[in-house]
Amino acid sequence: MNTLIPSKLKKGDHIRVIAPARSLGLLSEETKQIANNRLKAMGFELSFGAHVAEMDDFASSSIESRLEDLHAAFADKTIQGILTVIGGFNSNQLLQYIDWELIRNNPKVFCGYSDITALNNSIFAKTGLVTYSGPHYSTFGQKLYFEYTQAHFEQTVMSAETVMIQASKHWFDDAWYINQEQRNAIENPGFVVVNEGQVEGTVLGVNLCTFNLLQGTDFMPSLKNAVLFLEDDYESRPHHFDRDLQSLIHLPDFAGVKGLVIGRFQIASEMTKQLLFEIIRSKKQ
Domain ranges of the chain: 14-157, 191-281
Q: Which residues pair with 185 in a beta bridge?
A: 172
pLDDT at 8: 98
CA gap 219, 205 in Å, rounded = 15
- Reduced 3-state DSSP string for the chain: CCCECCCCCCCCCEEEEECCCCCHHHCCHHHHHHHHHHHHHCCCEEEECCCCCCCCCCCCCCHHHHHHHHHHHHHCCCCCEEEECCCCCCHHHHHHHCCHHHHHHCCCEEEECHHHHHHHHHHHHHHCECCEECCCCHHHHCCCCCHHHHHHHHHHHCCCCCCCCCCCCEEECCCCCCCCCCCCEEECCCCCCCCCCCCCCEEEEEEHHHHHHHCCCCCCCCCCCEEEEEECCCCCCHHHHHHHHHHHHCCHHHHHCCEEEECCCCHHHCCCHHHHHHHHHCCCC
pLDDT digits (tens, 9 = 90+) for 189-241: 999 999 999 999 999 999 999 999 999 999 999 999 999 999 999 999 999 99
Percent above pLDDT 70 for the chain = 100
Least Cα distance to 106 among 136, 72, 140, 134 occurs for 72
Going by DSSP bridges, is the β-strand pair 226-231/202-207 parallel, antiparallel, or unpaired? Answer: parallel
- Residue 31 in this model has a pLDDT that exceeds 60: yes
Per-residue pLDDT at 119:
98
Task: Report pTM.
Answer: 0.96
User: Tens digits of per-residue pLDDT, 152-183?
Assistant: 999 999 999 999 999 999 999 999 999 999 99
Query: What's the angle, vertex CA 224, arms to CA 218 and CA 229, rounded to 5?
Result: 90
The answer to whether 35 touches 137, Cβ cutoff 8 Å, is: yes
State how far the alpha carbon of 201 is from the alpha carbons of 223, 226, 229, 252, 259, in Å.
10, 5, 12, 18, 8
Give the pLDDT confidence score for residue 285 in this predicted structure: 53
Measured from the Cβ of residue 142, the count of other Cβ atoms closer than 10 Å reads 20
52-93 pLDDT, tens per residue? 999 999 999 999 999 999 999 999 999 999 999 999 999 999
- CA–CA gap between residue 89 and residue 19 (Å, rounded): 12
What pLDDT does residue 265 have? 96
Domains 14-157 and 191-281 share a fold: no
- CATH top-level class for 14-157? alpha beta
What is residue 60's predicted lDDT score, i.e. its pLDDT? 98
Nearest to 226 by CA among 209, 249, 196: 249
Q: What's the gap between Cα 147 and its chain centre?
A: 18
- In Å, how far from its chain's centre is CA 105? 22
CATH second-level architecture of 191-281?
Answer: 3-Layer(bba) Sandwich (3.50)
Q: What pLDDT is recorded for position 1?
A: 79
| Confidence check: pLDDT of 46 > 60 | yes
Mean pLDDT on 125-136: 98
